[in-house]
Chain A
Amino acid sequence: MTRILKITLLATTVLTAPMAWADTADGSMLIGKDWDAVREMAKGGTVNWFMWGGADNINQYVSDYVGGILKDQYGITLNRVGITDTVEAVNIVLGEKESGVMDKGSVDMIWINGENFRTMRQGGLVWCGYTDSLPNNALVNWDNPAIANDFGVPVEGCEVPWSRAQFAFAHDSAVTPNPPRSIPELLDWIKANPGQFTYPAPPDFTGAVFVRHVFYHAAGGSQNLMGPFDQAKFDDAAAKTWVILNEIEPMLWREGKTYPNAINQLNELFANKEVALTFNYEPAQFGLAVQAGTYPDTVMSYGLTDGTIGNTNYTIIPFNSPNKAAAMVLQNVLLSGEAQLQKALPDVWGANSGIEMDRTSAEVQAAFNAIERHPSVVAAEDLAENSLPELQADWISAIEQGWITNVAEN
């Protein structure tokens, strides 16, 4: 009954214009302020953090652990908003800007990277220039180009890293003891084992990055592709890529007549042995899936000898957030050694740290080094030996569109 009352009150207060206690929509006022002042202004505020909500363990880490710290130590309420696709949050901010909602936005923070980040920057939807004020920003290695650039777009103080990820494959060692360990090997393996492989159709995030691996292979390596979009280079590599993908199409699952819509469908196929291989941008997911019983414990993940693509994911504050101070405090917490350590624990998430662990305190470092990763998760260091950079967003859109036109519509 009280829940109903609570929701009723919530509903009616939503009708009236929401007034945050510590309304900190004015970003320019916050930049350069010293940290204690920011904390004071943030106290009593709320952060509406929009993030992918399809993983119960991530939801629990954010709502319980991070939310708990915010509440207990800073007096801030964390409101985690679970969405199915990050673009939903981007669209909200975009729509608000189009309608002139400049300082009462409904989104305070987004878990984001890649094309979505580019869209927000291009649309002037991001609040930038404040990141040096965050004490824990010192833990971030901004000299690393893979962190200072988000899919080739310079971060320039507009977002703050959260985790790093690197693409990895997985196989069931009981069923497929000798999986192909490079793209050329994979292509041969597909021809020799028809119906045992497929990939999600772009623009699914994971399917798209798989296609980019084939693209790198067709282009003879990633070196030539770095930098701004080059139509000539693109056409050259793309033509070869479509030939490769169309050539293997009849030997894919369902003879390539349809592709899984999204990565979770591929995971289902893999779990049920309809296909022999799957992959993911975040290898920690394999450990979590084995723990949840989705995959048998003989599932092992591995990298490719010709390298796999890595990226960083970030959190961002939209230009019209009315709770910027509180969002800054949240970001600072996320960057802290303790929070990154907690996130790295295999039964919490197992996510790779976004900061340099050797810049944190001694206890955190010790605990971090003592972590035993889940046996199904390939060691991050092994993957990092063959890490490939991501392309700039224009390349990515072109590849996605090209795939739809040249492979899907065939």
Chain B
Amino acid sequence: MSDRTTIILLLLPALLVIGVLFFGGLLIGVMRSFNYMPVIGLTTPNLDAYAAVFADPEFYWSFLLTFHIAFTSTVISAVIAIAAALLLRRSFVGRGLISFLFQLNLTVPHLVGAIGILYLFSQSGSFARLAAEMGLITRPGDFPAMVFDPYAIGIILQYIWKEVPFIGVIVLANMQSIGHDYEAVARSLGASRWQAFRHVLLPLIFPGVLSASVMVFAFTFGAYEIPAVLGANYPATLPVLAYRSYTDVDLAARPEAMAMAVVIAVLSAIMIAIYIRATRRGIRS
């Protein structure tokens, strides 16, 4: 069997599944967003749905909010994850426990974490009650609003809670396969701890950090259930908006939901392409 045939056979199932399910779904979504649904007799594509979406001020607020959530969560998680990996790669008391808890966290679904954060950080949640116990506040309204709030603090906290272990495990694996040698050499040549990290280790782990961050960004941008549990009502995040439109009893909202979905897909692809380009350039320089 020739090499080329082998390769094609190996890749065929995966390409088929993704091609049909993913790209097929995307294609149908695009078609319906243009109001093109032969099944129920709509055969003239038009841009009405897109016009409606782009004319709605909520769409822009929603995009800003979703971007803010994804960006802030990703950056903070990546920074903390690197710090945590640095901590965990050396032996110390409690290292085994923390490693185990990191991995444990990976198995806890986002929805559970979101509910937990809700119970902890709402104005009548555990932290608020602690504050009341300590006499810092008297009424729930006095406690700062961290869930259902315009800055999506609760949502970001939940993403940080889940993504720090995710990025951390990847970075840690990276660090362990890189080993200590490079830094040891740098230190022996007189570099300080920080310099060894910044100029030797960081560039080496950066591709892994980047890759993990891209996955985190894409996930946090497109997630539905976490903002549904912790998010403010207006503006809602883009996926929540799209889902609301799709399940609206008014059928005219369907193409709009599809249009939003297509916009989400395109925006994600663009943002991540920009992100990768910018940082790859950064690595090379």
Contacts and interface: CB of A to CB of B under 8 A. Distances in A.
Contact of B249 (A90, A258, A273, A274): A90
A258 B58 CA distance: 14
Contacts of A272: 123-124, 140
B260 to A, nearest CB: 16
Contacts, number: 61
Contacts of A94: 251
Nearest to A116: B249
Nearest to B234: A408
B56 to A, nearest CB: 9
Contact of A265 (B39, B40, B145, B148): B148
A409 interface: yes
B247 A91 contact: yes
A195 interface: yes
A38 B124 CA distance: 54
Interface in A193-216: 195, 201
Nearest to A117: B249
Point out which of B139, B150, B233 has the most chain A C-beta atoms below 10 A from its C-beta: B233
A48 to B, nearest CB: 20
A260 B148 contact: yes
A195 B234 contact: no
A313 to B, nearest CB: 16
A409 B57 contact: yes
Interface string B163-200: 00000000000000000000000000000000000000
Contacts of B124: 268-269, 272-274
A57 interface: no
Given A258-B150, A272-B124, A408 B233 contact: yes
Contacts of A26: none
A258 B148 contact: yes
A253 B249 CA distance: 29
A246 interface: no
Contacts of A254: 145, 148
A115 B250 CA distance: 9
A261 B1 CA distance: 60
A102 interface: no
A26 to B, nearest CB: 24
B234 A274 contact: no
Interface in A228-266: 253-254, 257-261, 265
- Chain B, interface size: which category? 20 to 34
A119 B249 contact: yes
B232 interface: yes
A178 interface: no
A165 to B, nearest CB: 20
A146 interface: no
Nearest to B229: A261
B249 A115 contact: yes
Contacts of A258: 148-150, 232-234
A54 to B, nearest CB: 14
Given A116-B249, A272-B124, A259 B233 contact: yes
Contacts of A119: 249-251
Instruction: Summarize B's interface: helix, strand, loop or mixed.
Output: loop
A195 B249 contact: no
Contacts of B248: 87
B40 A98 contact: yes
Contacts of B123: 272, 274
Contacts of A85: 247
A201 B141 CA distance: 19
Given A201-B233, A261-B233, A87 B249 contact: yes
B111 to A, nearest CB: 13
A260 B122 CA distance: 12
Nearest to A207: B233
A201 B139 CA distance: 23
Contacts of B139: 273-274
Contacts of B141: 195, 253, 274
Contacts of A88: 247
A397 interface: yes
Interface string B229-262: 0011110000000000001111100000000000
A99 interface: yes
A276 to B, nearest CB: 11
Contacts of A90: 249
A251 to B, nearest CB: 12
A260 B233 CA distance: 7
Interface in A101-146: 115-116, 118-119, 123
B40 A273 contact: no
B140 A273 contact: yes
A209 B148 CA distance: 22
Contacts of A257: 150
A257 B149 CA distance: 8
Contacts of A268: 122, 124
A402 B274 CA distance: 39
26 contacts: A87-B249, A98-B40, A99-B39, A115-B249, A118-B249, A119-B249, A119-B250, A119-B251, A123-B251, A195-B141, A253-B141, A254-B145, A257-B150, A258-B148, A258-B149, A258-B150, A261-B148, A261-B228, A269-B140, A273-B139, A273-B140, A274-B140, A274-B141, A408-B234, A409-B57, A409-B58
Interface of A: 85, 87-88, 90-91, 94, 98-99, 115-116, 118-119, 123, 195, 201, 253-254, 257-261, 265, 268-269, 272-274, 397, 408-409
Interface of B: 39-40, 57-58, 122-124, 139-141, 145, 148-150, 228, 231-234, 247-251
A-B pairs with the 7 shortest C-beta distances?
A272-B124, A274-B140, A258-B232, A119-B249, A201-B233, A408-B234, A261-B233
Given A253-B141, A272-B123, 13 more contacts: A87-B247, A98-B40, A201-B234, A259-B234, A260-B233, A261-B148, A261-B231, A261-B233, A268-B122, A273-B140, A274-B123, A397-B250, A409-B57
